[in-house]
Amino acid sequence: MTERMREPSGQTVGAGALLTILRHGQARTRAELVQLTGLARSTVSQRLDALLDQRWIVPAEEAISSGGRPAIAFAFNRNARLVLAADLGATHARLAVTDLASTVLVERAFDLAIDRGPEETLGWLVATFREMLAEIGHSVAEVCGVGLGLPGPVEHASGRPVNPPIMPGWDAFPVPDWLGARLGAPVLVDNDVNIMALGEHWAVRPETDHLIFVKVGTGIGCGIITERHLHRGAQGAAGDIGHIRVTSADDVVCRCGNVGCLEAVAGGAAMAVRLRQAGETAENSRDVVRLVRAGNTQAVQLIRQAGREIGDVLASIVNFFNPGVIVIGGDVAEAGEHILAGVREVIYSRSLPLATQHLGIRASVLGDRAGVVGAAVMVIEHVLAPEAVDLSVAG
């Protein structure tokens, strides 16, 4: 690593930038940091002291010898702070406490009805987080941030839900203020699909530049990673593919009021309705998967066809966006190859050869943990951003 980091118009590389370098393993010692940044040795020392003081880094066990005197190595301290992460769905919730590398320290899953409204739901969240922290011998004082995924549209900048169809009472509720006042840490909120995309990208495919994460659950939505960053769009509504019109379904009315939406033919709720009409017992998307796994012919045919409908919409998106990987997650994705086969069939026959040449279409590896991992990642990226670290060491 011979090239030095450029410093824009005399601005110095701060403590936060040094932390990023150490965190990514680009340098480990004082001398390597001097070499990489072009900063004076005394400046590097001063900034390392500040980072040590705030426990963002620790002296590493290893000492690196390069002929002369052994140099002390420094390492990012993943245990410096704790992160609270929650993925709230329509009917269930998953909560986790993680370290700064998004490693889950304690995790719990619950049945939870989000339609009980924000104060009851978030009050329960605060109490449960406190219990989980106590369980591992920690307290809220060590928490640097809270990440929360909600099953509806969220204006990310304010963290407020915007007309969420399945969350009565939540519209414009100030979630970050309410939770922040009770947990004493910054709160970041996004929709569930975006955090799942973040989690899967960070933990499983960090080397992929352009990724689409499709959640097929009760409804259908997708999260978009471009240049390794989440793309939310102008208002945070990017990726809402569930309400794209599919030609085969002109007579099907969607819950949004339009006809022919993808979600109204290929979503888990829609499939459950079709199976009930065929005389099967299916209340929700999980029941659909249960029937598929049991080898029910109707259910298998239905989910293959759903895969093709989803593939039809994704084929256009592949031409438009040219992702490297499409990940299929959510409850219905638990049906595995049955849904992937339908998706692949249509995408490979309908998208341009150049766009599909190296395209991978895979099931989510994290499964129902993608949301909590992504919620933690959202907080970690915020807290460890160089400018945020600079502020923390400035006192």
Q: Which residues bind Zn ion (CB under 5 A)?
A: 243, 254, 256, 258, 261
Q: How far is the CB of 8 from Zn ion (least distance, A)?
A: 46
Q: In whole angstroms, how close is the CB of 90 to Zn ion at the nearest point? A: 16
* Least distance in angstroms from the C-beta of 219 to Zn ion: 9
The nearer residue to Zn ion, 16 or 260, going by C-beta atoms, is: 260
Burial of 154 (0-12, 13-18, 19+ CB in 10 A): buried
Name the residue nearer to Zn ion (CB basis): 254 or 380. Answer: 254
CB 152 within 8 A of CB 204: no
Q: Take residue 342 and report the two structure tokens written for it.
A: 């339908």
| Number of other CB atoms surrounding residue 11 within 10 Å | 7
Smaller CB separation from Zn ion, 201 or 215: 215
Which letter does DSSP use for residue 243 in this model?
A: G
Q: Which is nearer to Zn ion, 254 or 292 (CB)?
A: 254
**Nearer Cβ to Zn ion, position 93 or 261?**
261
Q: Closest separation between CB of residue 218 and Zn ion, Å? A: 13
In the complex, the smallest distance separating the C-beta of residue 192 from Zn ion, rounded to whole angstroms, is 17
Give the other-Cβ count within 10 Å of 358's Cβ.
Answer: 8
Contact 386, 19 (CB under 8 A): yes
Shortest Cβ 259–Zn ion spacing (Å): 8
The sign of the CA dihedral 230, 236, 242, 244 is negative
- Counting other chains too, the contacts that 74-78 makes at CB distance below 8 Å and 24 or more residues apart are 74/22, 74/28, 74/29, 74/30, 74/48, 75/22, 75/28, 76/19, 76/22, 76/23, 76/100, 78/103
Q: Which is nearer to Zn ion, 32 or 312 (CB)?
A: 312
Residue 355 one-letter amino acid: A
